[in-house]
Amino acid sequence: MAAVYLGLGSNMDAEDNLRLAIRELRRLFGELIVSPVYRSAPLGFDGPDFLNLVVVVETEAGPLDILEHIECIHEMAGRSRGPDKYSSRPLDVDLLLYGDIVDPEPPLRLPRRDILEYGFVLRPLADIAPALVHPVTGRTIGEHWREFDDPGHPLTPVPDIL
């Protein structure tokens, strides 16, 4: 069994789409550990705020199988991939970590570099797994969060919506 960390985000019908993702992930993998939800402004474009969280599942499914499941969930939420990386979206589910696998090449790109670049990924991950060791840096997620500094992109906790 591998511990798999997934980042979830939405800024279009966010509460409904995040609930859909959580429901489908529970159907596929059973019990989930779910972080608090955070609101943040979009980066790189104007649009509604995003709601973001991280979940962890324990699974025997391989990383490529996880990516297939993610694409099915995206389709359920009505997500279509266009050429513009920075745009509003009904749902974005990212494979952040799969055990301690390091594979920087597509399609995996593990660990996902967003972990250390964006507070909306790092903070909820630190909430549920502060002692988790990043497989590249060798430092804990909690240490990375304590040293993270991005005052220009604040996060606001969102009351329980799931």
Query: What per-residue string of b and e applies to 38-62 under the rule 16 or more CB within 10 Å gives b?
Result: bbbbbeeeeeeebbbbbbbbebebe
Q: Are strands 50-59 and 33-34 parallel, antiparallel or unpaired?
A: antiparallel
pTM: 0.94
Residue-wise pLDDT for 110-135, tens only, equals: 999 999 999 999 999 999 999 999 99
**pLDDT at 10 exceeding the cut of 60:** yes
pLDDT at residue 87, as a whole number: 65
Read off the tokens for 40: 């943040």
CATH 3.30.70.560 assigned to domain 2-158? The reply is yes
User: How many CB atoms are located within 10 Å of the residue 149 CB?
Assistant: 7
pLDDT at residue 82, as a whole number: 57
Distance CA 152, CA 108 (A): 30
Residue-wise pLDDT for 25-78, tens only, equals: 999 999 999 999 999 999 888 899 999 999 999 999 999 999 999 999 999 888
Any idea which residues carry the catalytic annotation? 79, 89, 92, 94
- Lowest-confidence segment of 6-20, 82-96, 130-144 by average pLDDT: 82-96
